Amino acid sequence: MAFFNFNGSQLSYQTFGNPSNPALLLLHGNNGSQHDFKRHVTYLVPDFYVITQGARGHGQSTSNTDHLTYSLLAQDVEALRQELHITHWHIVGYSDGANLALRYTLDFPGHTDTMVLNAPNLTLSGVQAPVMALATGIDWLLRRTRYLSKFLHARWLQTQLMFESPHISKADLRLVPNRTLVLVGQFDFIKRQHSENIANSLPNGQLMVVKFRSHLFIQVSPHAFTKIVRQFIKELFI
């Protein structure tokens, strides 16, 4: 694992495979870390130069602020691209990482080839009500216990991002030219209509609903997930 300093924080990342292969950035979800992709890397390195990043305030990455925003995290992603001297890359984002992928592509256009967005949610209304109720309860508990340990404080910081809007409208989505696959499980807690709206608003977006899968599809089925990623990107670029 490697680190670099940016905007007052130490950010972690890892690279795998041949740098001459097309670069593929993997962005994890809320309360996650780059270690979430350790099983996926094996399936991806034959075709890609795989890069994982621990988002600010997640995993081994530190944060010098108690307020995370997608714009701030997008700046971190761009700093990583410059750190690695990569001209362009493909991006796979999971959940909050999918939101971040969109925010990054809008804020720093011209560096992203394709995107695979697994279960993005651009507004809280896109999440099923029981899940939002659970998240609200967890936030309430962490807000009152965050001073007890560094672990609880980190969890509170991360959970706040669940309630932070990436500030991406339908008009913004129409400005994203990249070929984009919006991937969602049949039983995901992201509302189907929300996923359809995102895919339909993207000029080159398409929706794939994976049968019998939930929000944890990427975690419980790494081989099946990476097969979809490889096929989508290889059809266009490899």
Instruction: Indicate whether 236 pLDDT > 80.
Output: no
pLDDT value of residue 142: 83
- Mean pLDDT for 15-35 is 95
Q: Could you tell me which residues come within 8 angstroms of residue 139 by beta carbon, excluding any fewer than 6 positions away?
A: 156, 159, 160, 162, 163
Q: What is the pTM of this model?
A: 0.94
Q: Is residue 145 part of a domain?
A: no
Element (H, E) at 56: none
Among the residue ranges 15-19, 72-76, 104-108, 154-158, the one predicted with the least confidence is 154-158
Does 84 reside within a domain?
yes
Does residue 152 or residue 187 have the better pLDDT?
187
Task: Report yes or no on 170 lying in a domain.
Answer: yes
Res 230: pLDDT:
95
For residue 34, being part of any structural domain is answered with yes
Question: What is the percent of the chain with per-residue pLDDT over 70, rounded to a whole number?
Answer: 99
Average pLDDT over residues 206-228: 95
Report the candidate in 194, 217, 219, 171 with the shortest Cα–Cα distance to residue 35. 219
pLDDT for position 12: 96
Q: Indicate whether 33 belongs to any domain.
A: yes
In a domain, 99, yes or no: yes
In a domain, residue 197? The reply is yes
Mean pLDDT of the chain: 93
**pLDDT band for position 132 (50/70/90)?**
confident
Q: What is the pLDDT of residues 63-84, one digit of tens each?
A: 888 889 999 999 999 999 999 9
HSE-CB at 127 with a 13 A cutoff on CA atoms is 19
The arithmetic mean of pLDDT across residues 10-39, rounded, is 95
- Is residue 151 included in any domain, yes or no? no
Q: What is the mean pLDDT of residues 44-51?
A: 97
Is the pLDDT at 237 greater than 70? The verdict is no
CA distance 106 to 48: 24
User: How many domains does one find in the chain?
Assistant: 1
Range of the domain at 29: 2-123+165-237
The enclosing domain of 209 has a CATH number of 3.40.50.1820
